[in-house]
Amino acid sequence: MQTRPLPETPGARSPAGAEIRYLMGGTTGDMIHSTVPPGQVNRATVHATVSEFWHVLSGRGEIWRRDESGEEVTVLTPGVSIDIPVGTAFQYRCTGAEALRFLCITMPPWPGNAEATHIEGPWVPTAPVGPVSSATAF
């Protein structure tokens, strides 16, 4: 059994550029809390082996997703949940005056930042590169 409070500060940065706080990990997946500051556009990526579920907690944003069936832009607002199946290209941004915050579940557990390949997306990225701190994400 695991119990863990939300860390006060981010422990790392996702390959796309979001600030992340590690919440829990298990044999079937991981859970993180992600924050995208107002105006930030993260880098477009595609994952090799990991699928994700997101649930928006607060803020406003947009996510672009593209797979073999097509592409779409989805508005992210509190209460919205989305999936990112393995191999789906995606890029997201915060469009509101407050930070976009969401829970992210990865399946299987996140294997490391080599999992994500940066690609060209619909928006010009503004996200900083590199870790928020010396801590690792997972």
* Rounded Cα–Cα distance for residues 19 and 3 (Å): 21
pTM, entire model: 0.92
* Rounded Cα–Cα distance for residues 6 and 23 (Å): 7
- 133 Cβ partners below 8 Å, 6+ apart? 9, 10, 11, 12
127: its two tokens: 């996200």
Return the pLDDT at 138. 40
H helix or E strand, kind and range, residue 101: strand 100-107
Low-confidence residues of the chain: pLDDT under 50? 133-138
Q: In order of start, what are the domains of the chain with their CATH numbers?
A: 17-118 (2.60.120.10)
55: its two tokens: 């649930």
Return the pLDDT at 131. 58
CA-to-CA separations, 102 to 60, 64, 114, 128, in angstroms, rounded: 10, 16, 22, 19
Return the pLDDT at 124. 97
Return the pLDDT at 132. 53
Return the pLDDT at 130. 65
